[in-house]
Chain A
């Protein structure tokens, strides 16, 4: 899985060097925000045209899309000069509403020209994907597919020419401040759009960008969204949200009490189920924006570690597949979770535990042995640590002279769960019996 850093909140278009250098210390790949580079997103051009036109450092490319050819290569060369990959770009997009005096057709024509330039420049920059929102503004819901189809297909030729895949993403609309799911937020609809566009184009040049922040904001079951879209998902943006707004908080950090605000369980379940191996974009623009420049390198490094953790979780089953033979270390809840979800598919030879009382017993149909038994394993047999004290146990095994591959198994985000943890079972089962007649009266 290729991890990509989104530039927002870190890299300034005007003075990019420090931000790019900070990112480069932790990431090999960065996303390109064409809207941000060239006059911000197109909607700024629409809404604030008069107010901000005098800011000389911005380029009003809606008026002259071909200017992109002059602007973008210079910026890309700065990025490439720092040995970054640029696998993906965000194209400009229009706002949910046009200004009263704006003519929809004029803007659509300008946008089409601009987006063709975007696709071409992305291809030249080496980007494989460009994220592109549909032109929905001013179009009735019943006509939006026909209009969208025509609009996207007009870009298919140039996308093919430059080897770029256009990624759709889900949208939402605002109804007097309330949020309503919009285009492609329904995975059935998104799937149909991608498939119909590829069929109409005659080749595969459309895919889907799954933005976890948007899905989470809309309260979606992300396991279902991921499974339904499957291999159409070419890029995933990870961002956390507190649920009150469309924010980009560092993943795994938005909390309510001691519970996560985002349904990471279902995201990981879904992506693991489809063996996702595409791009993963870390977008923590909100957190980065409020972080002092002094702390940003540390934040970016932590974001990278979070991305690696996420990739490791998604790849959990693939890790199990890599070893033909395996034993487990630990005879508790994590071992039980392993046996429930993966025991049949990837059966361990046995498990072992530091607790002497468990040696010689059976746990989840596995023999529990002393760690000393691991010294007799064939060299290619992996030891999968099923205990949260990973690093301590790994050191113990290495100190014992065990040279077998060691893997960490983790049950935080399992495909399914037991209803009870071991330690709660007996006690709680008694408590949960619904009592005697006298108690119920």
Chain B
């Protein structure tokens, strides 16, 4: 099976005329998208307790809202490979009412929309609670309880929820956040899937977040094996979560990419990854002039094809 090339819909597919964006994505060379559902309830608004009413629509209303997007993507032959649920789903200092709304209304409706768009994978952020609860294990327990609320629905809709390696901030620096331990993640995924007798949980490897905390891409991916379902491919300077185009950042006079893309490709080769090479590079589309959006997308898709070729070629 050929590796697919995908990109997030953020800044590419707009609500007013989805067919325009869908055609641009297809022309650029993508055969899949990562549907950016999180942009309909933005994280900065959640953290500032400024919640819009988007997810108060009924499921039917939401499906009607996204029908043009679905039809546009179908028309050009692009699959929705993965989706990003709004995040966070728990705000430590938020009210009970807010957190219940996120977990009991926004999350299940996101799952329904994932199914509506014929999407198999939905990326869900783990809760960032280690500071308060004292340990990564207790933090996971809280995330696990939330995921288990959704697991029966995931099973019935044949969706795999994907946890993602995240970072946290200490004094302006990135440090490990939830799901940065591949060994623990693998065992937790297996335990939940065994419990529900279905592949309800998988992993989304985020290259940018991994680069911020200097994870060894190859080792991490290789440890996850077939639990790795989806990717967030993007690059940064090792300092800030910039979501830029791979190979863009150098740190030496030789001007070679400082991010370990070789290790990334070797890891995917090691596990025989057969999913989509998905780019989470929405911000790159706004850093280039709007007139260049199509060219920028083509360039990103070209990098995807480079990855695919090299992964195939590796022995």
A79 to B93, CA, bound (A): 54
A residues 147-202 with Cβ under 8 Å of B? 172, 175-182, 185-186, 188
Asked whether, in the complex, the Cβ of B95 is within 8 Å of the Cβ of A434, the reply is yes
- Surface stretch bound by A, among B130-138, B275-283, B285-293: B130-138
Q: Mostly helix, strand, loop or mixed at chain B's interface?
A: loop
A263 at the interface (CB under 8 A from B): yes
A102 at the interface (CB under 8 A from B): no
Asked whether, in the complex, the Cβ of A417 is within 8 Å of the Cβ of B131, the reply is yes
Asked whether, in the complex, the Cβ of A417 is within 8 Å of the Cβ of B132, the reply is yes
Asked whether, in the complex, the Cβ of B171 is within 8 Å of the Cβ of A218, the reply is no
Q: Given contacts A420-B93, A434-B49, are A177 and B250 in contact (CB under 8 A)? A: yes
A416 to B132, CA, bound (A): 5
Asked whether, in the complex, the Cβ of B171 is within 8 Å of the Cβ of A259, the reply is yes
Cβ-defined partner of B256 (8 Å) among A176, A217, A259, A417: A176
Number of contacts between A and B (CB, 8 Å)?
138
Q: Which of B98, B138, B212 has the most CB of A within 10 A?
A: B98
Chain A to chain B contacts (Cβ below 8 Å), 21 pairs: A175-B258, A175-B260, A175-B263, A176-B258, A178-B258, A178-B259, A179-B214, A180-B214, A180-B216, A181-B216, A224-B181, A243-B173, A254-B171, A263-B170, A417-B134, A418-B132, A432-B93, A432-B98, A434-B49, A434-B95, A434-B101
Give the Cβ gap from A182 to chain B, nearest Cβ, in Å: 8
B193 at the interface (CB under 8 A from A): no
Asked whether, in the complex, the Cβ of B93 is within 8 Å of the Cβ of A188, the reply is no
Cβ-defined partner of B52 (8 Å) among A188, A243, A433, A440: A440
A63 to B173, CA, bound (A): 43
Measured between beta carbons, the chain B residues less than 8 angstroms from A177 are: 250-252, 258
A257 to B172, CA, bound (A): 9
A434 to B96, CA, bound (A): 10
B167 at the interface (CB under 8 A from A): yes
Asked whether, in the complex, the Cβ of B238 is within 8 Å of the Cβ of A179, the reply is yes
Asked whether, in the complex, the Cβ of B172 is within 8 Å of the Cβ of A434, the reply is no
Residues of A within 8 A of B (CB): 141, 172, 175-182, 185-186, 188, 217-221, 223-224, 227, 243, 254-257, 259-263, 265-266, 269, 414-420, 428-429, 432-435, 440-441
Residue of B nearest to A228 (CB): B181
Asked whether, in the complex, the Cβ of B251 is within 8 Å of the Cβ of A433, the reply is no
Asked whether, in the complex, the Cβ of A433 is within 8 Å of the Cβ of B95, the reply is yes
A181 to B257, CA, bound (A): 17
Give the Cβ gap from A414 to chain B, nearest Cβ, in Å: 8
In the complex, given contacts A141-B218, A418-B132, what are 5 additional A-B residue pairs having Cβ atoms less than 8 angstroms apart? A178-B260, A186-B219, A219-B167, A227-B135, A261-B171
Measured between beta carbons, the chain B residues less than 8 angstroms from A243 are: 171-173, 239
